[in-house]
Structures are given as structure tokens and as C-alpha cells.
Structure 1
């Protein structure tokens, strides 16, 4: 099945674009939602996280302590790698299982770190980047997550630059447009992807 990799920096508007594509009939598989399910109370990754990081990173209801883990991995690249080694193989398997069960016209994988991960570029036919300027990203995340500016900037520093992301893009949607314009652009891309499905 034809595969689109949808990516963008934090606060760029990925979810909005993904929802529009889902409404048009694409099967959307969101790696963040999968990761969240793996680390929620009783999630499949909890035993491995407990073993690797210790009981202090698990909440009383048997979920990963996101705030504590976020602080840990932001300050320690080795801890980040250890967490990724637990999550990434499981996320990949869950994505492939979801892809096999999908019934949409084509697949859209929402992958915030699509460029950074490397392997994702070989697993999709097309890279769609949702783009906006960095100040817009910062403002959106501060409002949405109640993060400080420094917190948002520290997250952005762990992601590739806007320029690198755009270099890898086959298609780009500017999320700073009015929402109706974003929706119209998504509809045009949807038609393009349907044509590619037929051609492919």
C-alpha cells in the first residue's frame, strides 16, 4: 500500500493535517499515540522501563512518569538512547501490525522524528512536512502544554532544524495559513496521493 510519512517539528500542526487526511479516507498511524499506549498504566513497555531505569520512573498506577523521564532524557543522551532502544522496536512492530490491518485508501505514518530516525525514510514512498516558523511553534506549544519558552526550545534542539526537514520533503504544507487554506491544500495532496496509488 502507498505510504506517506508525515512529519514536522513540535507544534507545527501535524495532528491537524493528519486528521484532515483521515477524514478524506487515509489510514493514519500515529507513532506518538502508539508510544503513549506503550508507556501508559500497564503498557507493554512498562516492565522493560522499570528494569532499565528503576522504580522511581514508574508512577503508583504503573505508568511511566513522563515528567521525570522527560527531564532525564533531555539532560542525558545515553538515557535517551536506552529509552529509545526499549520503545522503537515495539513501536515499529505496532506500526507494521496497524498497517497490515488498515483499510484506508493509503497509509499515513505520523512520525515526529522521521528525519532523525533514518530508517523511516526507507519505509515511506513520500515525505510530507508540516511547516511553520519557529516562533509560531514556540507560541503554540507554550499555550497547548503550558511549557516555558526554555522548555519548548530545549525540545526543539533535540529535533532536526527546519531547513534540514524541508530538504527531505517531497510535499510541504504551511500551517500558518488560515485553517480553510490548510484544509484545501490537504485535499489537493490527497488527490495527488490517490493518483500515485493508481500509478504505483
Structure 2
């Protein structure tokens, strides 16, 4: 049982996955919000039934699974619809993440939450003991996005603009891991944070 939980976040293409892989290699359990988000809308889950009641049976495929494209079309241009969807899914995602972290073996666990700043930081996730922000300069994020996703510069700019600002993420950080250098520097930074978190978990 992990009694100490780190919330890990960062902007798109900041290198969150590279960081979480390194923590996992050190034996730390990482509960991923993106995975939890898919699980809570699986057939048979209460959140999926609530979505169908809110948005109509047209958001379900013939096999009963969520028609993501149809739902995306409903909520994309309608802020009220998006908020209604988030009111259904976010509590379920938080519950899955917390349960997974609490059940993890080891002295601490990590909840990887890409939209942690957008969800209110620690106010949205009061069970998180510490927040780690993976940070990279916006021009580097922009270049990585174009390379990783094969998008043009204009779309990459829009994708960055759709998220919380870099300043907003840094404002909620207890720890900042700057990811703008070679892999061996990232290894060393994660190792140093791991040692710090072991000490903090032991003292908690």
C-alpha cells in the first residue's frame, strides 16, 4: 500500500511518457489518467450509462461501446456539453487513479494526469501529496509535436494553445523536471527525484 502519491503532469510533448517509463523502471507504479479515462467508459461501466442518458443513445455503437467520434462532435463546439461530460467522467477517473495508487506496492506511487492544471491542481486532486511538472520550452514542445504527430506548425500551435499555459502548470508545481536535454540528463534527474520521494515517503 502506497501512502504517498505524486501527481505528475506536463504539457503536450513535454516528455511525460519518457519520465514515467524511468520511474517504472525503478519499480514505481504509475497510474495513467489516459488509461483510466478509457476504462471508465467501457461497456458495463456506470459512467458509460450516464453518458448515454446525458447525450442520447446515438453516442453508443451497435455493440454498446462508446462512439467516440459521435460524442466528440457533440461536445467539441459546445462548452456546456463538454462540462457535462467532464462532470460524469472526471470523478470516475479520479477514483480509479486514487484506488490504483493506494493499492500499489512500494513506498510511493505516481498518478500521471496530463490535465492536472486544468482540473484545478491539488484542489481537484486533494489526495495527491506532491505535484511534479515535466517542463520543456514551448518552442521545443512545438517541434516535438510536429515531429511526433506529423502535424503542421499551425495545428501544433493550436494544440499547445488548447492546454493550460506553461506558467499555470509551473504555478502548481512542488517539483519541476526540465526535459530539454539528452537522455542521460533525464535519467539523472529522475534518479534524484526518486531518492527525494523515497525520503519524503519514509517521513510521511
TMscore range, shorter length = 0.7 to 0.9
Matched residue, 1:177: 181
Partner SS for 2:110: strand
Return 95-104 or 24-33, whichever deviates more: 95-104
Partner of 2:162: 158
Structure 1 residues 57 and 190, CA, compared in 2 at 3 Å: closer, same or farther? Answer: same
Decide whether the 8 Å contact of 1:25 with 1:105 is kept in 2.
Answer: no
Q: Give deviations 1:33-87, integer Å, cap 9, x for gaps.
A: 10022235x2623222222222333334433333443454342211110110110
- CA 1:60–1:138: 2 relative to 1, 3 Å: farther
Distance 1:154 1:71, change over 3 A: farther
Unpaired runs of 5+ in structure 1? none
1:100 matched to 2:105? The reply is no
What is the correspondence of 1:36-185 to structure 2 with a 5 Å cutoff? 36-40=38-42, 42=43, 44=45, 45-118=47-120, 119-120=123-124, 122-185=126-189
**C-alpha spacing 1:61/1:10, structure 2 compared with 1 (3 Å):** farther
TM-score (norm 2): 0.85
Which structure 2 segments of 5+ residues have no match?
none
Question: Aligned residues, how many?
Answer: 199
RMSD of equivalent CA atoms: 2.2
Q: Please state how far the C-alpha of 1:174 moved relative to its aligned partner.
A: 1.8
Under a length normalisation based on structure 1, what TM-score does the superposition of the two structures give? 0.87
